[in-house]
């Protein structure tokens, strides 16, 4: 289904007329009718969030998330990640204490989670998804044994768990598993509380803002990001590059949240805060796997502009931005954002070229993106039926993204 067809489906399930649903979101019946027929696109995610709220479904329901996660090797370990996150032993350490196995070595677990973070930044989502279940189980075992460790080792065990669940939350959000992402983010925050380290807590809060954005809870994302940012005060004042990077990323994530709720002034203010952190850092760095620096601020400025509807500005500025030195995940995310802007401007050939380049760089990041899927659907729907190489390339991409059958 296209987004408009999903809206019509859920509207009928709720027993609303077009006039009733349109009234709930402050729009005309004609507007909603065109959306449902696919004659008009919803460019602003805040409108989708309003519709989801009126229909009492999740944002992911309207966006068609998730789609079966498989890479070229047909690996699909999302069910195993779900099993690890929802294991009964996580409900009560008292009831299931006898089932706790021998904990892994903390140092080896720390090395593995950082290795997988590197894979994530390289765009190797399939590898991350494949190895996350065992890593989550290792983190759980470290949590269960933490009380018996010396204070320093106890904090390391909880910090490793926080990093693991942060990685899980971010990865799951990328492939459309918003509900699982929230579970992982909540676990990351709880583990970070026990780690007693402001940097670990701020990093986990960054994961939670990702999860909140994925389910359309923009006010909550703003509140969490702003609260976590205040915890970094002493480290930021001392010029700690880790703290500056995490603070900057929290401001960037909250700027996106503000843009998605159409608060341009707040988005601009938060982007300005992030820019000041980037200036103090003085370079495009990668402390705490943030990829933070002046260029990442510019990427988020474009992303906010996209949510605010500034398509021509995003396309003009984005085409002149050099991102080759950033982590692959950031490069591909920028290419997807730029392709979306170009598609809205009816520059479909340029958009397809960008998406094909992005797919060659990191196939899973493109094929499992809900926004790519909807962009490709829109372009495929208006593509000429006469064929040709470009039309064939677009159809192939649409099929690989599960946008068409």
Cβ count near 113 (within 10 Å) = 23
Domain shared by 31 and 96, yes or no = no
Band (pLDDT 50/70/90 cuts) for residue 41 is: confident
Domain shared by 158 and 183, yes or no = yes
Domain shared by 51 and 162, yes or no = no
Domain boundary among 187, 212, 245: 187
Please check whether residue 45 lies inside any domain of the structure.
Answer: yes
Give how many domains the chain has, as a whole number: 3
* Predicted local distance difference test score (pLDDT) of residue 214: 86
Please check whether residue 180 lies inside any domain of the structure.
Answer: yes
pLDDT tens, position by position, 93-137: 777 766 556 788 999 999 999 999 999 999 999 899 999 999 999
* Predicted local distance difference test score (pLDDT) of residue 205: 96
Phi/psi at 175 (5° precision): -100, 15
Domain boundary among 131, 165, 187: 187
pTM (predicted TM-score)? 0.84
Q: Cβ distance 44 to 309 under 8 Å? A: yes
Q: In whole angstroms, give the CA distance from residue 132 to residue 137.
A: 9
Q: Cβ distance 80 to 177 under 8 Å? A: no
Q: Per-residue b/e over 141-175, b at no fewer than 16 CB within 10 Å?
A: bbbbbbeebeeeebbbbbbbbbbbbbbbbbbbbbb
Domain shared by 88 and 16, yes or no = no
CA distances from 382 to 6, 253, 267 (A): 19, 33, 33
Domain boundary among 159, 187, 215: 187
Q: Which two tokens stand for residue 289?
A: 């796997």
Q: Higher model confidence: residue 144 or residue 103?
A: 144
Taking every pair of Cα atoms in the chain, the longest distance, rounded to a whole number of angstroms, is: 70
What one-character-per-residue DSSP string does 226-253 give?
HHHHHHTHHHHHTT-HHHHHHHHHHHHH
Domain shared by 145 and 109, yes or no = yes
Domain shared by 152 and 71, yes or no = yes
* Predicted local distance difference test score (pLDDT) of residue 52: 87
* Predicted local distance difference test score (pLDDT) of residue 206: 94
Q: Cβ distance 42 to 31 under 8 Å? A: no
Domain shared by 23 and 133, yes or no = no
The DSSP 8-state label assigned to residue 149 in this structure reads S
For residue 66, say if its preceding peptide bond is cis, omega within 30 degrees of 0. yes
Please check whether residue 200 lies inside any domain of the structure.
Answer: no
Domain shared by 57 and 71, yes or no = no
Most confident region among 76-85, 98-107, 205-214, 380-389 by mean pLDDT: 205-214
Please check whether residue 71 lies inside any domain of the structure.
Answer: yes
Q: Cβ distance 337 to 318 under 8 Å? A: yes
First to last CA, the chain: 11
Please check whether residue 54 lies inside any domain of the structure.
Answer: yes
Q: Per-residue b/e over 228-249, b at no fewer than 16 CB within 10 Å?
A: bbebbeebbeeebbbbbbbbbb
Range of the domain at 51: 3-63
Please check whether residue 205 lies inside any domain of the structure.
Answer: no
Domain shared by 71 and 135, yes or no = yes
* Predicted local distance difference test score (pLDDT) of residue 108: 93
Please check whether residue 15 lies inside any domain of the structure.
Answer: yes
Burial of 276 (0-12, 13-18, 19+ CB in 10 A): middle
Domain shared by 29 and 85, yes or no = no
Nearest to 251 by CA among 276, 233, 282: 276
Please check whether residue 131 lies inside any domain of the structure.
Answer: yes
Domain shared by 21 and 48, yes or no = yes
The DSSP 8-state label assigned to residue 103 in this structure reads P
């Amino acid at each position: 289904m296209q987004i408009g067809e999903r809206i019509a489906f859920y509207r009928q399930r709720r027993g609303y007329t077009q006039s009733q649903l349109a009234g709930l979101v402050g729009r005309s019946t004609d507007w909603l009718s065109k959306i449902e027929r696919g004659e008009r696109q919803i460019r602003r995610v805040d409108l989708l969030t309003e519709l989801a709220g009126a229909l009492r479904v999740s944002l992911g329901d309207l966006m068609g998330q998730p789609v079966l996660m498989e890479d070229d090797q047909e690996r699909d370990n999302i069910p195993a990640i779900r099993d690890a996150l929802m294991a009964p032993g996580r409900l009560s350490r008292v009831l299931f204490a006898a089932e706790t196995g021998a904990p892994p070595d903390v140092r080896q677990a720390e090395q593995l989670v950082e290795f997988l973070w590197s894979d994530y930044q390289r765009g190797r989502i399939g590898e991350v998804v494949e190895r996350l279940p065992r890593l989550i189980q290792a983190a759980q075992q470290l949590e269960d044994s933490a009380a018996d460790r010396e204070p320093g080792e106890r904090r390391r065990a909880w910090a490793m768990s926080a990093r693991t669940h942060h990685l899980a939350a971010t990865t799951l959000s990328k492939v459309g598993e918003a509900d699982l992402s929230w579970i992982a983010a909540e676990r990351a925050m709880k583990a970070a509380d026990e780690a007693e380290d402001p940097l670990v807590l701020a990093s986990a809060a960054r994961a939670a803002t990702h999860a909140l954005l994925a389910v359309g809870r923009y006010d909550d994302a703003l509140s969490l990001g702003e609260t976590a940012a205040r915890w970094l005060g002493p480290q930021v004042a001392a010029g700690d590059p880790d703290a500056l990077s995490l603070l900057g990323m929290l401001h960037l994530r909250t700027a996106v949240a503000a843009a998605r709720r159409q608060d341009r002034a707040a988005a601009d203010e938060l982007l300005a805060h992030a820019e000041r952190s980037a200036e103090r850092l003085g370079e495009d760095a990668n402390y705490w796997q943030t990829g933070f620096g002046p260029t990442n601020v510019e990427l988020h400025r474009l992303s906010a502009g996209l949510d605010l509807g500034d398509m021509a500005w995003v396309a003009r500025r984005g085409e002149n931005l050099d991102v080759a030195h950033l982590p692959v995940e950031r490069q591909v995310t920028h290419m997807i954002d730029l392709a979306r802007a170009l598609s809205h401007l009816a520059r479909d050939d340029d958009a397809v070229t960008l998406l094909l380049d992005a797919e060659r760089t990191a196939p899973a990041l493109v094929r499992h993106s809900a926004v790519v899927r909807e962009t490709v659907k829109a372009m495929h729907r208006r593509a000429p039926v006469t064929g040709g190489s470009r039309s064939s390339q677009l159809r192939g991409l649409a099929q690989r993204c599960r946008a068409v059958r």
